[in-house]
Chains A and B, each alone.
With several copies, the nearest count.
Chain A
Amino acid sequence: MRNTISGEAVAGALRRGCTTLSEQVDYLTSLDQALGDGDMGITMGKIAAALLDYVDATPVEDIGQWLAKAGMTANRAGPSTMGTLTATALMRAGKAVKGKNELTADDLVAMFNAADQGMQDRGKAKPGDKTIIDAIHPAAQAFEAAIAAGVSPQEAGAKALAAAEEGRDSVTPLRSKIGRASWVGERTEGKLDPGCAMFVLVLEAVVGG
């Protein structure tokens, strides 16, 4: 048995992530209301629903193309900040594995980094600005390091999750420096960043499967 990830496994991971998102709509809404405009839960709920439909309706062949199309579906369903970043991440991850029917651990590394970089390119946030970047960037780095050290994608995923949680918690005391939350000013200090919180939940669902 070769140690690769099938298209079905990718679809399963996306499904798990979206199911979690659907379940967390109210929680994410309340986080975003505390320091933003309260739309994040709703938007991500819409994206999750659209992607679950997409997963059901669209058999995976070319994993790269399949993910890119998922990204476009996400943008149409919920083009808010987080929705657009999510869409960009899916599109870039897809682009990184264009033409492949199954993925190696190195492909996963490439996808994770592409998603991270894509979010940074699109949103222009830097680490420390208190955005989702503060969760995805350390997670992608931890994942790459773990795979390089020879552990299984499963174990590397667990390390990535731990790094994401740590990243999320490290920015909680800070003031939001970009996006809507930045206008709330000092009152963002001590509050969980909704984007980070969401990323941790989704990653947990994805690696937990």
Chain B
Amino acid sequence: MKKIINNPADFVPEMLDGLLRAHPDQLDYADELHAIVRADSPVEGKVALATGGGSGHLPVFLGYVGKGMLDGCAVGDVFASPSADQMLSVTQRIHGGKGVVYIYGNYGGDVMNFDMAAEMAEMDDIEVRTVLVKDDVASAPPEEADRRRGVAGMVFAFKAAGAKADMGADIDEVVRVTEKILANTRTMGVALSPCTVPLAGKPTFTIGEDEMEIGMGIHGEPGMKREKLQSADEITTRMMEAILADLQPQAGDRLAVMVNGLGATPPEELYIMFRKVHQILSDREISVHRAYVGEYATSMEMAGASITLCRVDDELAELLDYPAHTPFFTQL
């Protein structure tokens, strides 16, 4: 895949420089470019929320830094964890006196570095709590759910946690709703084409013109199974069956739904998928509380999509409906 880039080694810093030039009223950085925070950080008296992870997933991760969502984000290189140092810089800059919650995907490098950062932050007397996102049903069976990776479902966690913190809740309450929404959130994805890490210069995998990868993540990695490319309705049904079997929503339940494009798949195709999702849920007498159709967690120019279902009660519905405003996500 051809890219509009300069020196591949400058991909992330130049992207960050552009981002800060585009949104000076909303974003700032702490110590170094790779530690992005709300321009008005710290928000005194509010529980602060931090995330972090590799680049190449916009709007994930830093795209959700803003009012009603996150306070800061440690930015790694493409598909690589940021360092404990960067996470600590973010933590120190956003701490508003009520503690910091780390919400991020369950990836080895990130976990190790966030754990190191938390140890260091605690030496500064900053209370740090961690909620790992593990929404991808394709990455491990239910009995090993702790091994699952975090994908697009993390956006619902950011949304609920951000709303709760903005409402003035304490750290226990913020952690509680974050864990609650994640306990009700499941995702599955499909990839049609790979992506190329700028410095690697070649695609993450090769795939035939008539094939797809079922159950891939958001790092250009191959999925769990390679199969013949199917129709939108068949693919959607496949993914829905896996998610529904895991989440087990009942007739009468309300779900927030996200149909997320991985990068190259156009919104038109996402709406064709959403149509089938809606039909399947209607048939089961499950209603859609809110629909998010678009690019929320990507893998650069990868073609493919993921579906996330999130069961909501009144509390979670209120948190999802709460206003938010970031450079990538605005909700009234």
A37-B199 Cα distance, complex, nearest whole Å = 13
Task: Chain B residues near A29: list those with CB within 8 A.
Answer: 200
A79 engages B197 (CB within 8 Å): no
Task: Chain B residues near A79: list those with CB within 8 A.
Answer: 76, 80-84, 86, 109, 113
Chain B, residues 54-77, CB within 8 Å of chain A (1/0): the string is: 100000000000000000000011
Sorting the interface of chain A by its residue count into under 10, 10 to 19, 20 to 34 or 35 or more gives 20 to 34
A75 engages B224 (CB within 8 Å): no
A121: shortest Cβ distance to chain B, in Å? Answer: 10
With contacts A123-B112, A184-B224 known, is A78 near B205, CB below 8 A? no
A36: shortest Cβ distance to chain B, in Å? Answer: 6
The residue of chain A having its C-beta at the shortest distance from the C-beta of B139 within the complex is: A183
B133: shortest Cβ distance to chain A, in Å? Answer: 14
Q: Within 8 Å of chain B (Cβ to Cβ): is A33?
A: yes
B80 engages A43 (CB within 8 Å): yes
B112: shortest Cβ distance to chain A, in Å? Answer: 4
The residue of chain B having its C-beta at the shortest distance from the C-beta of A180 within the complex is: B221
Contact of B80 among A76, A80, A123, A183 (CB under 8 A): A80
A183 engages B221 (CB within 8 Å): yes
Task: Chain A residues near B80: list those with CB within 8 A.
Answer: 39, 42-43, 78-80, 83
Interface class of chain A by DSSP: helix
A67: shortest Cβ distance to chain B, in Å? Answer: 17
A19-B266 Cα distance, complex, nearest whole Å = 34
B140 engages A81 (CB within 8 Å): no
Chain A, residues 148-189, CB within 8 Å of chain B (1/0): the string is: 000000000000000000000000000000111011110100
B144: shortest Cβ distance to chain A, in Å? Answer: 9
A84 engages B221 (CB within 8 Å): no
B76-108 with Cβ < 8 A to chain A: 76-86, 107-108
CB within 8 Å of A: which residues of B?
54, 76-86, 107-109, 112-113, 115-116, 136, 138-140, 147, 149, 197, 199-200, 204-205, 215, 217, 219-225
In the assembled complex, 12 residue pairs joining A and B whose CB atoms fall closer than 8 Å, in A order, are A29-B200, A41-B200, A42-B197, A43-B77, A75-B113, A80-B109, A123-B112, A178-B108, A183-B138, A183-B139, A183-B221, A183-B224
